[in-house]
């Protein structure tokens, strides 16, 4: 087991006085200046704020892609604040799903293979992982596209594949970075409806966006400024 276990019940992720400082030669840039917040299981958060306010830094920390300079991060009951790179990557594989603006699918692989990828890394039996990929493809409405490659799909369909892949390891949190940034308005609405549906089924979602109408799909909104949470809107 990675990280010490902390009993948490309803909390998917918790940040306590998290600071992140980047060193640029002799200069220090404070990206996060003491962020404390709990993300409850089943919540759906949008993180908003001007450019440079710390949104990406926060998402990178929540995604175990980086470590805080100081402070504590508890993910799904594990203290991950001080883990090494290998341990962080294990946490990502076991507890997190990622959705990106640019989908990040493997172009040479089929829909089925793309969805199976996290299961492959976890050593799943090929038959079981194929079956799981089919179930996930059905969930996102792509069961008839399993043999297609990403290039043969629309942007919205590619994002659906990415969402299915992000769900494959049954993550504690789905992290989305501008998930509709490359999609037209109609397709954005479809993708946000899908994320809302997944949240209604119990998935915890944290999404960075700069669009107010996209943030409106979340149940809670966090506004960041100068590396701090300026204000919170909505309910969990």
List interacting residues with ligand ADP (CB under 6 A).
22, 24, 29, 31, 49, 51-57
CB closer to ligand ADP, 29 vs 232: 29
Q: Is 14 exposed, middle or buried (0-12, 13-18, 19+ CB in 10 A)?
A: buried
Q: Write the burial class of residue 26 (CB in 10 Å: 0-12 exposed, 13-18 middle, 19+ buried).
A: exposed
Helix (H, G, I), strand (E, B) or coil at 27: strand
- Sheet with 78-79, side-by-side order of all strands: 27-40, 11-24, 70-75, 78-79
Task: Please report how close the Cβ of residue 23 comes to ligand ADP at its closest, in angstroms.
Answer: 8
In the complex, least distance from residue 24 CB atom to ligand ADP, rounded to whole angstroms = 5
Query: What does the alpha-carbon distance between residue 54 and residue 93 come to, in Å, rounded to a whole number?
Result: 24
Least CB distance from residue 31 to ligand ADP, whole Å?
Answer: 3
Q: How wide is the angle at C-alpha 120 spanned by C-alphas 63 and 176, nearest 5°?
A: 25
Q: Which is nearer to ligand ADP, 53 or 204 (CB)?
A: 53
Whole-number minimum distance, CB 218 to ligand ADP, in Å? 17
Q: In this complex, which beta carbon is closest to ligand ADP, that of residue 12 or of residue 48?
A: 48
Q: Report, in Å, the least distance between residue 13 CB and ligand ADP.
A: 17
Shortest CB 144 distance to ligand ADP, Å: 37
Nearest residue (CB) to ligand ADP, 54 versus 150: 54
Non-local CB neighbours of 60 within 8 Å, separated by 6+ positions: 66
Which lies closer to ligand ADP via its Cβ, residue 55 or residue 132?
Answer: 55
Largest interatomic CA distance in the chain: 55
The secondary structure of 28-88 as a DSSP string is EEEEEEEEEEEEETT-EEEEE--TTSSHHHHHHHHTTSS--SEEEEEETTEE-TT--HHHH
CB of 56 to ligand ADP, least distance (A): 3
Q: Specify the residue, 22 or 120, whose C-beta has the smaller distance to ligand ADP.
A: 22
Query: Of 52 and 155, which CB lies nearer to ligand ADP in the complex structure?
Result: 52
Helix axes 126-139, 111-121, angle to 10 degrees: 130
């Amino acid at each position: 087991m990675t990280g010490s276990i902390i009993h948490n019940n309803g909390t998917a992720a918790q940040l306590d006085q998290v600071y992140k400082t980047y060193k640029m030669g002799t200069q220090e840039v404070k990206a996060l200046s003491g962020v404390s917040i709990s993300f409850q299981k089943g919540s759906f958060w949008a993180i908003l704020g001007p450019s440079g306010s710390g949104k990406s830094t926060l998402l990178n920390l929540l995604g175990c892609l980086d470590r805080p300079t100081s402070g504590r991060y508890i993910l799904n009951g594990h203290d991950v604040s001080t883990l090494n790179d290998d341990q962080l990557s294990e946490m990502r594989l076991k507890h997190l799903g990622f959705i990106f603006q640019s989908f990040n699918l493997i172009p040479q692989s089929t829909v089925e293979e793309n969805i199976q990828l996290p299961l492959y890394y976890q050593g799943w039996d090929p038959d079981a992982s194929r079956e799981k990929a089919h179930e996930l493809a059905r969930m996102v409405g792509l069961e008839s596209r399993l043999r297609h490659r990403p290039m043969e799909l629309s942007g919205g369909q590619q994002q659906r594949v990415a969402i299915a892949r992000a769900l494959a390891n049954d993550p504690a949190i789905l992290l989305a970075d501008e998930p509709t940034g490359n999609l037209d308005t109609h397709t954005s609405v479809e993708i946000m409806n899908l994320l809302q549906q997944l949240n209604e089924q119990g998935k915890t979602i944290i999404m960075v966006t700069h669009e107010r109408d996209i943030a409106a799909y979340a149940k809670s909104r966090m506004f960041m400024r100068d590396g701090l949470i300026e204000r919170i809107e909505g309910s969990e």
